[in-house]
Structure 1
């Protein structure tokens, strides 16, 4: 028997096998029914959080992730695509997101600890977009709409949403209509006509998965409302990018102050 730190943990499923050199996951894998065995030929490797795993066949990547309750980005995207193909509303995808958010630590390990505010595109098509959104501490996003449905899932931190409605007789202005705080593990759908603003009220970065369906998120004509006057104007992507950079500048300055 090889020393524990050098063991290859293998489980045969048909003609396929799974292995890892990572001793830190030895007990976890063995408890799941995996056994130690000599090395086998490997189709490829991937990383689930901090665990490096190899496969003789690609289907084993999916099986191991599901059995060990781990978040794997490519599998998550595939599950979202399948859910959307089965039901073009938000309902099926909400279930996929809720399942992933039920284990926020595994999502965090897979996507990486947030370092700065920004929006990373994980998947984009003309009808479905999946983003990894990071909000800086204290960051506020002005009221805006999407003109398509959305599902939001929080895997780190907190995101507070304020909901708005158009004022009768003043079609270009809005008023507050409600609010909801989203914490780790929370998932929330938004209808295609929803107007909301977002704030990260805590003193650390917040990480969230945002999914938009029923249209091309980057091509859609959307509106946003001035934070001071609440007047409507066309969404300005360049302004949004500047907002993220300004939030990062404030966040990084606060870190330097703490270090000093």
Structure 2
């Protein structure tokens, strides 16, 4: 059985250990050995959104629910992250900066897909975009090595892949737009 309070406590302890990202990854991997237990504890997702489970200067834990076919543009975090899926699937395009390119341009360098019970660790300099390819909700635990909401970071506009300041409000609106599309039906 997944105990959210115990998980948060374990992650808080992990950030005090030598390799915080690895220690956090181990705790998330252990929790997601039974993704249905995590799903039962957090509840079946019924709308897209971001729910803060824990927040401090050293650590943020989020329950992120991606709406059907939802897309989040390339962005960075400027802190390490460990993402684990408890229901559904998340496709990630991994990006890298193009050396000496104007406007902080990026190019794709790979892709990965994670499903229920799987983990994606990201370094502090990672850039990725996220797609829920399914016609149903995808739920994920996101653990960040810092205050996710206070960190200045970047996102890239979709056509020219030019860097701009990350707009948290614009990205949160994407979740609401996903909910409106879902409510409107096919």
Superposition TM-score, scaled by structure 2 size: 0.97
Q: Deviation of residue 88 (structure 1)?
A: 4.9
Contact 2:15–2:58 (CA<8 Å) still a contact in 1? no
Distance 1:117 1:238 in 2: 15
Q: Secondary structure of the equivalent of 1:85?
A: coil
Match of 1:46 in 2: none
Match of 1:143 in 2: 74
Contact 2:29–2:119 (CA<8 Å) still a contact in 1? yes
Report whether the alignment pairs 1:194 with 2:133.
no
Moved over 3 A (4+): none
Within the candidate set 184, 189, 193, 2:116 is matched to 184
Give CA deviations for 1:139-173 in whole Å, capped at 9, x if unaligned.
00000000000000000000000001111221511
Q: Deviation of residue 89 (structure 1)?
A: 2.7
Match of 2:92 in 1: 161
Report whether the alignment pairs 1:217 with 2:152.
no
Report whether the alignment pairs 1:86 with 2:23.
no
Q: Which runs of 5+ in 1 are unaligned?
A: 1-69
Superposition TM-score, scaled by structure 1 size: 0.70
Q: Deviation of residue 252 (structure 1)?
A: 1.8
Equivalent residue pairs, number: 185
Q: Deviation of residue 234 (structure 1)?
A: 0.2
Distance 1:188 1:205 in 2: 18
Distance 2:24 2:179 in 1: 31
Greater relative contact order (Cα 8 A, min sep 6): structure 1 or 2? 2
Q: Secondary structure of the equivalent of 1:193?
A: coil
Distance 2:18 2:86 in 1: 24
Distance 1:87 1:210 in 2: 20
Within a 5 Å distance, the mapping from 1:110-121 to structure 2 comes to 110-121=41-52
Q: Which runs of 5+ in 2 are unaligned?
A: none
Contact 2:73–2:158 (CA<8 Å) still a contact in 1? yes
Give CA deviations for 1:176-213 in whole Å, capped at 9, x if unaligned.
10000001110121000000000000110000000000
Q: Deviation of residue 251 (structure 1)?
A: 1.6
Within the candidate set 30, 53, 69, 1:99 is matched to 30
Distance 2:81 2:15 in 1: 12
